[in-house]
């Protein structure tokens, strides 16, 4: 397999595949890279200095998808939040750029109008859609130092799609 020309940038690392395999990839972009937040503290305790947090996200890469498989294609991505001080944060994932929906996220073929339906979840059993509150739930996390979280991705089974590379972009938002 030949690396995609974007493999040297911060874009997703995609590779071409021989038919009939599909290699979809999902790129997660970040809305806020560095974020000053107010720390959470118990009533009656002295406030600590405001925490400052930075976020990094690893692409969620699905690899090869087999449309004839009875099972979905699952994968795991990762993100980390590093804070100086303590912070109570809400981490949400917005809708698909392709579909405009958090309930019906879709990846688009790089050169055609074909799409693959997928979603992002908070749990490895793929039952809790990770969203922004309008669809799915955001994650509440108390962060002191470094927090590493996982994003569980699933492309639904038996979708009739054209061979090639698929991608989508969603936005991760981190708020105090």
pLDDT digits (tens, 9 = 90+) for 84-102: 888 999 999 999 999 999 9
| 144 within a domain of the structure (yes/no) | yes
Q: Which whole-number Å values give the CA distances from 153 to 32, 85, 125, 174, in the listed order? A: 22, 31, 11, 19
Angstrom distance (rounded) from CA 96 to CA 31 = 14
Q: How many folded domains does the chain comprise?
A: 1
| 150 within a domain of the structure (yes/no) | yes
- Is residue 49 pLDDT above 70, yes or no? no
| 34 within a domain of the structure (yes/no) | no
| 24 within a domain of the structure (yes/no) | no
Determine the pLDDT at residue 51.
78
| 21 within a domain of the structure (yes/no) | no
| 100 within a domain of the structure (yes/no) | yes
| 12 within a domain of the structure (yes/no) | no
SS3 146: strand
- Is residue 19 pLDDT above 60, yes or no? no
Residue 90's domain spans which residues? Answer: 41-175
- Is residue 45 pLDDT above 90, yes or no? no
Question: Residues 121-125: what's their mean pLDDT?
Answer: 97
SS3 80: strand
Q: Which whole-number Å values give the CA distances from 12 to 48, 58, 102, in the listed order? A: 39, 9, 21
Residue 171: which CATH number? 2.60.40.1090
How does residue 151 score in pLDDT terms, banded at 50, 70 and 90? very high
62 sits in the region (left: phi over 0; alpha: psi -120 to 50; else beta) called: alpha
| 18 within a domain of the structure (yes/no) | no
pTM: 0.75
């Amino acid at each position: 397999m030949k690396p995609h020309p974007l493999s040297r940038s911060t874009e997703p690392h995609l590779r071409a595949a021989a038919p009939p395999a599909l290699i979809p990839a999902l790129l997660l972009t970040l809305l806020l890279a560095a974020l000053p937040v107010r720390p959470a503290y118990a009533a009656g305790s002295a406030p600590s200095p405001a925490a400052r947090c930075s976020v990094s996200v690893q692409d969620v890469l699905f690899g090869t998808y087999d449309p004839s498989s009875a099972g979905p294609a699952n994968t795991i991505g990762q993100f980390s939040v590093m804070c100086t001080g303590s912070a109570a944060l809400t981490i949400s994932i917005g809708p698909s750029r392709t579909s405009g929906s958090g309930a019906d996220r879709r990846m688009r073929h790089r050169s055609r109008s074909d799409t693959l339906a997928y979603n992002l979840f908070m749990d490895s059993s793929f039952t809790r859609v990770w969203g922004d509150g309008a669809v799915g739930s955001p994650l509440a996390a108390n962060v002191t130092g470094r927090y590493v979280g996982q994003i569980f991705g699933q492309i639904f089974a038996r979708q009739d799609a054209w061979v090639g590379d698929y991608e989508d972009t969603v936005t991760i938002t981190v708020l105090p």
